[in-house]
Amino acid sequence: MLHVADYGGKEADVVKALEEDIIFGRLAPGTRLVEDVLLGRFPVSRHTIRQALYQLEKLGVVTRERNKGAMVRRLSPDEVRQIYEVRELLQRQAALMIPLPASDALIAELMEIHRVYSAHVDAHYLRGIHEANDRFHLTMFSACGNDYLVSSIDHYMRLSLPVRANSLADPQKLEVSRQHHWFWVLAQLCVDHLQPSKMFYLEAIEKAGDGV
């Protein structure tokens, strides 16, 4: 998976700042990212700016066109529908592959991430909300055990960043997201709660030799 932390020093700072501007709607889709303007904003070399734009292009949030330069990715309605169709397929498959009942370690990790996420929501800390939200979903889907599948989910999550941006700044939508996180953990706990009785009954049947 590709993350901002994979890059070095000043380049990472530029990538993180521009990615944040895009995520939170401060740079609208279609906005041109002019190198000279960025040089005036960031105390770095032109090479660093170009490398940062290249990394943002790899993340899928920036596009570059011949004779036009770099700009914030603008998704057409068809592109949005297609990206979300793929996200739905990938995430549904990953969810189906998560072993049940979920492990105590997974539940505990998700509950801790949810706690951090909720604290950021209460504090209106947008960067923290974004990072904790992605960490929650990727941690959950990682339980499917297929790194390639999780990497694909990560990729399409990033492609949909411009679409998800308005949700991060909307208190009502954030509250829905917070509830969805908790409902998933609660659902897993409910599944866990059922297991002891079921296993006890099945073991009793096997010992009795009924085979029913």
pLDDT at 7: 45
CA distances from 45 to 15, 38, 40, 53 (A): 14, 10, 10, 13
d(C-alpha 91, C-alpha 21), whole Å: 27
Query: Has this prediction a pTM greater than 0.75?
Result: no
The pLDDT of residue 187 is 59
pLDDT tens column, 31-41: 999 999 999 99
What mean pLDDT comes out for the span 111-115? 90
pLDDT in tens, 125-175: 888 888 888 899 899 899 999 999 999 999 888 888 777 665 665 666 666
